[in-house]
A and B are shown apart, each in its own frame.
Chain A
Amino acid sequence: MSAAFSGETMKKIKDIIDSYPDKEAALLPVLHLVQREIGSISPSEEKAVAELLNISQVRVKEVISFYTMFNRKPIGKYHIQVCSNLSCSLLGSESLIEYLTEKLGIGVGETTSDNKFTLSTVQCLGACEQAPCMMVNFNYYGKLDKNKIDIILDELE
């Protein structure tokens, strides 16, 4: 196997596979696990996952390319995802995205040179009552303004 997963991850993968009547159904959860361990899913991980689930590598690739949460390239330690849908836009998400690009010195979809931050815009995060909102990794932050963004980013090491 070209990509070595940790023993703990391999055990979790086995548990996941066992909870489905069909091995292929384990693909999304297994990819989530692998991404958590490695940070992104490159062709070598694609191949390893394909072998584990007895499917072709292209089956894994087509799934990764369909879902926005799978990263095919490495991203920063903190993935900032700002909602750009309607409720957040009504309350100024566009200017916050602009502010973040200036503050971090990167464009949307880019990573800072120290690999600390990746900035993305996303569709609705399901936290519209907290608009404008964003996610940093799996944590939600709402009712944002420039000041609040400064405080949140300052606290991230």
Chain B
Amino acid sequence: MKNSYILEEYLKQGGYEAVSKALNKMKPEEILAEVKAACLRGRGGAGFPAGVKWSFVPKDVDKPKYLCVNADEGEPGTIKDRYIMSHTPHALLEGIIITSYCVGINTAFIYIRGEYENIAVRLENAIKEAYKQGYLGKNILKSGFDLDVYVHRGAGAYICGEETALLESLEGKRGNPRLKPPFPASIGLFQCPTVINNVETLSNIPHIILNGADWFCKQGKPKDGGTRLFGVSGMVKKPGLYELPVGVNLKEIIFDHAGGLKEGKRLKAVIPGGLSAPILTRDEIDINMDCDSLMEANSMLGSGAVIVIDEETSMVDVLKIIANFYSHESCGQCTPCRHGNVWIKKIVTRIAEGKGVKEDVDEIERIATNILGKTLCPLGDAAAMPILSIVRKFRPEIESYIGNPRQE
């Protein structure tokens, strides 16, 4: 709907009814039970149930608690949080207010990637409007509940989308992930209990409050409720953002909603959940897009970002982009990730130049296997998983480059 980013328009569409219901008619325990029953799984990548995450925060502590909104959208292919924040920033604010009320939080930070400067300004305007209207600040809607919300800009680092790196960054440090445990729910921002949720996850909360957990579950799957915002990019006719039920078939997303492949192009492979998600070949795309179905297929739903690759694209080029990305974005703390990704990048580059040797493909597989599961944070796995999937599923194509000049 047009101009929904302006509070006046948002209110005409039933805006802030969820906040009013939650703060005036529901107890925090009731909200928690509802969100748990809704099976709202994290939309940032890991797919962890939001209600369960909130329940890990200790109730009786004498320290302040914080909410950090992960708006560091950096997973290649992912565009959804940009849309939410620029088109319906108040939906996110409603989610923030209800979550904070539920968990007993009085300060929330929205950590937004620095490149989204224009959107950060829009968010700040929305926050100002909300304060003015009494949805933020002291004694919100006479409920006795206080909440302040701040926008905090990142500065260009993919790793800060990892929750503990995000906390370090918010504290004014390099974005080096922390060792877990302790988990942020007990020791997070400024050593205090902290909830970290993705933008899309929080924007679902008002719908759960207004329509109930049963309704929400029915939109998706029993253990994975609601709809998801699927960003489709690559070689399709209609790239864009599509809100569809959790569990929708991937073929339907690509061929019905995104219009199929561009004229004259044939499908080769699909990355179903952002660059970190293991690749699916064209024979593997008859699959339901929910967390569990993709996990069973040894891939992941991640951020729901679908990247469509055509037959003419060389998988060596795809590998090169992936290896280049992760070697650039590794924070450098863990040796397997810091060195392994650079090493893989060098090997892939020489294969692409026709200078590869027979052992190179095995070598990539060996290095990637040695990154997998051996790093502090999930970035190591995020690099190793797609690389391994490509090497294993497209081995003959990659091997065809060995000893050959570049194939055009």
Contact = CB atoms under 8 A, between A and B. Distances in A.
Contacts of A84: 321
A131 B233 contact: yes
Interface residues of B, number: 56
B79 A126 contact: yes
A56 interface: no
A68 B73 CA distance: 15
Please classify the interface of chain B as helix (H, G, I), strand (E, B), loop, or mixed, using the class held by over half of its residues: mixed
Contact of B305 (A22, A28, A128, A138): A128
Given A129-B79, A129-B241, A138 B174 contact: no
Nearest to B77: A128
Contacts of B64: 21
B234 interface: yes
B212 interface: no
A19 interface: yes
B163 interface: no
Interface stretch (B42-50, B108-116, B398-406): B108-116
Interface string B326-338: 0011010000000
Nearest to B240: A129
A126 B235 contact: no
Given A87-B233, A90-B235, A90-B313, A126 B155 contact: no
B152 A28 contact: yes
Given A69-B156, A124-B77, 5 more contacts: A19-B150, A24-B173, A27-B173, A90-B235, A90-B307
Interface of A: 19, 21-22, 24-29, 31-32, 53, 62-63, 66-70, 84-87, 89-91, 122-131, 135, 138-140
Nearest first, the 5 closest Cβ-Cβ pairs linking A and B are A27-B172, A68-B156, A67-B155, A128-B233, A69-B156
Interface of B: 64, 73-79, 81-82, 107, 113-118, 150, 152-158, 169-175, 190, 231-235, 239-241, 271, 275, 305, 307, 309-310, 313, 317-318, 321-322, 325, 328-329, 331
